[in-house]
Chain A
Amino acid sequence: MTRISQILPLLALTLVTVFVAPPPAQAQPLRLQITEGVIDPMPIAVPAFVAEDSGGARYTDALARVVVANLTGTGLFREVPSQAHIARISSFDAGISFADWRAVNVQALITGAVSVSGNRMNVKFRVYDVVSGQQLGQGLQFAGTADDWRRMGHKVSDAVYSRITGEDGYFDSRVVFVSESGSRDNRTKRLAIMDQDGENVEFLSEGRSLVIAPRMSPSGDRVVYTSYESGSPRITLLNLSNRQRQMVGDQPGAMTFSPRFSPDGQSLVYSLARGGNTDLYRMDLRNGQQQQLTNSPSIATAPSFSPDGRFITFESDRSGTSQIYVMPANGGEARRISFGQGRYSTPVWSPRGDLIAFTKSNAGRFHIGVMRTDGSEERLLTASFLDEGPTWAPNGRVVMFTREAQGGDPSIYSVDITGRNLRRVTTQGPASDPAWGPLRP
Chain B
Amino acid sequence: MTLTTKALLLLGALALAACNNPRAGGTFGGGGADGFGGDNGFGGGISTGQLGDPNDPSSIAHFNQRIGDRVFFTVDSSSLTPEGRETLNGQARWLNSNTQYAIVIEGHADERGTREYNVALGERRANAVMQYLVSQGVSAGRMRTVSYGKERPVEACAAQRCWDINRRSVTVISGGLTG
The yes or no verdict on A and B being binding partners is yes
Binding site for B on A (CB under 8 A): 183-187, 189, 208-210, 212-213, 226, 228-233, 255, 257-258, 271, 273, 275-278, 299, 301-302, 315, 317, 321-322, 343, 345-346, 359, 361, 385-386, 388-389, 404, 406-408, 433
Residues of A within 8 A of B128 (CB): 276
Binding site for A on B (CB under 8 A): 33, 35-36, 38-42, 76, 78, 111-117, 119-121, 123-124, 127-128, 131, 146-149, 151-159
B120–A389 touching, CB < 8 Å: no
Q: Which residue of chain B lies nearest to A404 when distances are taken between CB atoms in the complex?
A: B111
Contact of A258 among B76, B116, B148, B154 (CB under 8 A): B116
Contact of A271 among B40, B111, B120 (CB under 8 A): B120
**B interface, by DSSP: helix, strand, loop or mixed?**
loop
Residues of B within 8 A of A275 (CB): 127
A346-B116 contact, Cβ under 8 Å, with A231-B40, A299-B121: yes
A386–B111 touching, CB < 8 Å: yes
Residues of A within 8 A of B147 (CB): 233, 255, 273
Residues of B within 8 A of A388 (CB): 114-115
Task: Give the distance in Å from the alpha carbon of A189 to the alpha carbon of B150 in the complex.
Answer: 13
B124–A210 touching, CB < 8 Å: no
Residues of B within 8 A of A386 (CB): 111-112
B39–A273 touching, CB < 8 Å: no
Task: Give the distance in Å from the alpha carbon of A182 to the alpha carbon of B154 in the complex.
Answer: 14
B115–A389 touching, CB < 8 Å: yes
A228-B39, A386-B112 provided; 13 other pairs, C-beta below 8 A? Answer: A212-B115, A212-B119, A212-B149, A229-B41, A255-B123, A255-B146, A273-B123, A301-B120, A302-B116, A346-B117, A361-B113, A385-B158, A389-B114
Task: Give the distance in Å from the alpha carbon of A273 to the alpha carbon of B109 in the complex.
Answer: 15
Minimum distance in angstroms from A324 CB to a CB of chain B? 12
B117–A255 touching, CB < 8 Å: no
Minimum distance in angstroms from B68 CB to a CB of chain A? 19
Task: Give the distance in Å from the alpha carbon of A302 to the alpha carbon of B115 in the complex.
Answer: 9
A187–B40 touching, CB < 8 Å: no
Of A208, A299, A343, the most chain B CB neighbours within 10 A belong to A299
Contact of A231 among B115, B117, B146, B152 (CB under 8 A): B146
Residues of B within 8 A of A301 (CB): 116-117, 119-120
Of A255, A275, A361, A385, the most chain B CB neighbours within 10 A belong to A255
A230-B40 contact, Cβ under 8 Å, with A186-B152, A299-B120: yes
Task: Give the distance in Å from the alpha carbon of A35 to the alpha carbon of B159 in the complex.
Answer: 40
B146–A276 touching, CB < 8 Å: no
B157–A407 touching, CB < 8 Å: yes
